[in-house]
C-alpha cells in the first residue's frame, strides 16, 4: 500500500509547505500563507496591504477570483525523494463576519499563527473550493478527481517526518541499519537508511553510490497518528522482529 495521488495532493496543500498563488489575469505569482480546512477547501491568510490583496480585489462586478495554488514538496532529508508538486485551483472569495471567524479557527487548527488575531483588521481570509487538482511527479502529471481530493486525508506524519528521520539517523542508526538489513536480506557493506515515512510505510534506500535502489516496507495497516508510529517502529530496535512486506520501487 502507498498513498494515492489524491492523498498526496491533500498532504502537499495541507498548509505545512510554502505555497505560490497564481491569480488569473493578474501579475504574480505571490507567496501565500495557506491551509486546508477539514473539507479540503483552501484558506488564504492575506495581509490587507499587499500585492496579493490587490490581485484578489474584485473588479467589474466580480465576486470570486480564479486562482491556482502551487505547492512543491520539500524533501525532509538529504537524499530523500520529493513527493512532487501539487496544483489546485478554484474561485477564491473573501470571507466576512461569522464565516471569517469560523475559518480563522479552521486555519488555527492547522497553523496557529499569531496573525490570526488580526483577521478582520490587518489580515483577511479568502477561501476556495478545489474544482481542479493535479499532481506533478517526475515527468508525469496526474489529474485528480475533485471528489477524490475532498474525500482524501492529509498524511498525519508529513508535518513531523523530518524530525522522525533525523531522530532515527542521529539516535538509532545502528539499530535501524541492522533491522533493515535483516528485513531486506542485504549483505552489502553500505548501510540502508529510511529516507521517507508516511502512514503506509517506510521508504528505504540501499546499495552503493551510483547504484542505489529504493524499497518500501509496508506497515500492517495505515496509521492515524504519530503515537501509532512509535509503537510500530519498536521492532526496528528489537533483534527479533517479524518481517514486513517489501515493495521494490
pLDDT of residue 241: 47
Which range marks the domain in which residue 171 is found?
159-248
pLDDT of residue 237: 62
pTM of the model: 0.89
For residue 43, give every residue at least 6 positions away whose Cβ sits within 8 Å of its Cβ, in sequence order, or none.
Answer: 34, 35, 36, 37, 103, 106, 107, 125, 126, 127
Instruction: Specify the CATH number for the domain of residue 73.
Output: 2.30.110.10
Last residue in a domain, options 134, 154, 174: 154
Residue 162 near residue 120, CB atoms below 8 Å: no
Last residue in a domain, options 154, 173, 199: 154
Assess whether 150 and 163 both reside in one domain.
no
Assess whether 176 and 138 both reside in one domain.
no
Look at the chain and report how many structural domains it folds into: 2
pLDDT of residue 113: 92
Assess whether 144 and 201 both reside in one domain.
no
pLDDT of residue 243: 45
Assess whether 67 and 82 both reside in one domain.
yes
Assess whether 140 and 50 both reside in one domain.
yes
Assess whether 89 and 149 both reside in one domain.
yes
Assess whether 80 and 103 both reside in one domain.
yes
Last residue in a domain, options 125, 154, 183: 154
The average confidence (pLDDT) of the chain is: 90
Assess whether 165 and 88 both reside in one domain.
no
Angle between helices 173-184 and 161-171 (to 10 degrees): 100
pLDDT digits (tens, 9 = 90+) for 115-127: 999 999 999 999 9
The C-alpha cell of 26 is what?
493578474
Whether pLDDT at 217 is above 50: yes
Residue 2 near residue 200, CB atoms below 8 Å: yes
Assess whether 144 and 167 both reside in one domain.
no
Instruction: Specify the CATH number for the domain of residue 241.
Output: 3.20.180.10
Assess whether 114 and 227 both reside in one domain.
no
The C-alpha cell of 13 is what?
496543500
pLDDT of residue 248: 52
pLDDT digits (tens, 9 = 90+) for 221-249: 999 999 999 888 887 766 554 444 455 55
The 10 Å CB-count burial string (b at 16+, else e) for 54-64 is ebbeeeeeeee
For residues 88 and 174, the model is more confident at: 88
Assess whether 72 and 141 both reside in one domain.
yes
DSSP element (H, E) containing 20: strand 19-23
206: left (phi over 0), alpha (psi -120 to 50) or beta: beta
Assess whether 141 and 166 both reside in one domain.
no
Mean local confidence (pLDDT), 7-34: 95
Amino acid at each position: 500500500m502507498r498513498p494515492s495521488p489524491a492523498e498526496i495532493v491533500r498532504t502537499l496543500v495541507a498548509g505545512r509547505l510554502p505555497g505560490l498563488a497564481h491569480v488569473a489575469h493578474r501579475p504574480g505569482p505571490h507567496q501565500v500563507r495557506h491551509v486546508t480546512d477539514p473539507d479540503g477547501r483552501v484558506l488564504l491568510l492575506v495581509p490587507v496591504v499587499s500585492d496579493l490583496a490587490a490581485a484578489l480585489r474584485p473588479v467589474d462586478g466580480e465576486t470570486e477570483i480564479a486562482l491556482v495554488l502551487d505547492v512543491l514538496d520539500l524533501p525532509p532529508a538529504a537524499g530523500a525523494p520529493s513527493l512532487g508538486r501539487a496544483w489546485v485551483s478554484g474561485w477564491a472569495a473573501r470571507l466576512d463576519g461569522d464565516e471569517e471567524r469560523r475559518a480563522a479557527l479552521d486555519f488555527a487548527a492547522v497553523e496557529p499563527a499569531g496573525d490570526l488575531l488580526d483577521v478582520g483588521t490587518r489580515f483577511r481570509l479568502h477561501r476556495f473550493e478545489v474544482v481542479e487538482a493535479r499532481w506533478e511527479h517526475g515527468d508525469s502529471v496526474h489529474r485528480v478527481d475533485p471528489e477524490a481530493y475532498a474525500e482524501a486525508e492529509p498524511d498525519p506524519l508529513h508535518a513531523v517526518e523530518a524530525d522522525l528521520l533525523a531522530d532515527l539517523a542521529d539516535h538509532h542508526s545502528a539499530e535501524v541499519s541492522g533491522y533493515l538489513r535483516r528485513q531486506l536480506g542485504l549483505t552489502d557493506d553500505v548501510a540502508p537508511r529510511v529516507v521517507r515515512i508516511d502512514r503506509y510505510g517506510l521508504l528505504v534506500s540501499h546499495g552503493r553510490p551510483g547504484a542505489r535502489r529504493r524499497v518500501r516496507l509496508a506497515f500492517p495497516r495505515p496509521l492515524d497518528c504519530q503515537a501509532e508510529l512509535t509503537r510500530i517502529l519498536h521492532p526496528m530496535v528489537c533483534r527479533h522482529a517479524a518481517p514486513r512486506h517489501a515493495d521494490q520501487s
